[in-house]
Copies of this chain bind each other. A is one copy, B any other.
């Protein structure tokens, strides 16, 4: 099974990048399923029904979120009726968070793919343990038994926490991929147990920016510590960044992981298939 995961879509530039490039990529790579992290899709902050629709129309089958899930308040109700939208799974019990943190999807060819979204804890706002949360989902839906593929979107800051999650799920998931830092990492590998891993998928964003935002205000805040304006997504052409994974149809484990980068400023790369 071939699928792809794209990192945080930042604003209109990121949405337009996917609209422009994803159909070609999907076709060229023969993708059966496409997951997109959309926590910054709406003006850099959260997701709305309209921006989600753009991404679905571009070819996304599932959208994941992160620490910006609810920046747009309409997402709190939209997610209840949109099963393709996945928020972090490790909310504490009393949160009674709307929507779902994991979902099992059926592809057109009848395969099943479980997608789980997690928030890490290092340098992030606190949530319940993402390792226990992953463990519970992986025990409930074993790879190769209850799901043909399993994708963990580990949304967090620290490379150590992402790598630890990779090893924690190694042999039990098809792919563990990080999001949140908005920069693609060059460490795609298949871990010893057969799980594909990349520390960060990177963003779908203009890379002449500060993690997808216009440089002016971030530079002002870094140098003066006084904010004078809000953050705005940079408006140049996006590089869409993600990973391509091919799994073994029997085990669900990864046969291959390759980076995808296309458009904008970063050096392009597309897997040969």
Binding site for B on A (CB under 8 A): 70, 73, 76, 91-97, 121-123, 125-129, 131-132, 135, 157-161, 163-165, 167-168, 181-189, 191-192, 199-200, 202, 207-211, 215, 218-219, 222-228, 241, 259, 261, 265-267
- In addition to A160-B211, A168-B222, A187-B202, 19 A-B residue pairs with Cβ atoms within 8 Å of each other are A70-B226, A73-B228, A92-B224, A94-B132, A94-B224, A95-B225, A97-B226, A125-B225, A127-B225, A128-B128, A157-B158, A159-B183, A163-B183, A164-B222, A167-B219, A168-B223, A183-B186, A183-B199, A186-B267
Q: Is the interface of A mostly helix, strand, loop or mixed?
A: loop
User: Nearest Cβ distance between residue A51 and chain B, in whole angstroms?
Assistant: 20
Alpha-carbon distance between A76 and B229 when the two chains are bound, in angstroms = 13
- A254 CB → nearest B CB, Å: 14
Residues of B within 8 A of A123 (CB): 123, 157
> In whole angstroms, what is the CA distance A122 to B200 when docked?
19
Contact in complex: B223, A94 (CB < 8 Å): yes
- The answer to whether B70 and A227 touch across the interface, beta carbons within 8 angstroms, is yes
Check if B222 sits within 8 Å of A161, measured CB to CB: yes
Which of B131, B187, B222 touches A207 (beta carbons < 8 Å)?
B187
Known contacts A185-B186, A187-B184, A189-B266; decide if A91 and B225 are in contact (CB<8 Å).
yes
Q: How far is the CA of A210 from the CA of B186 in the complex (A)?
A: 15
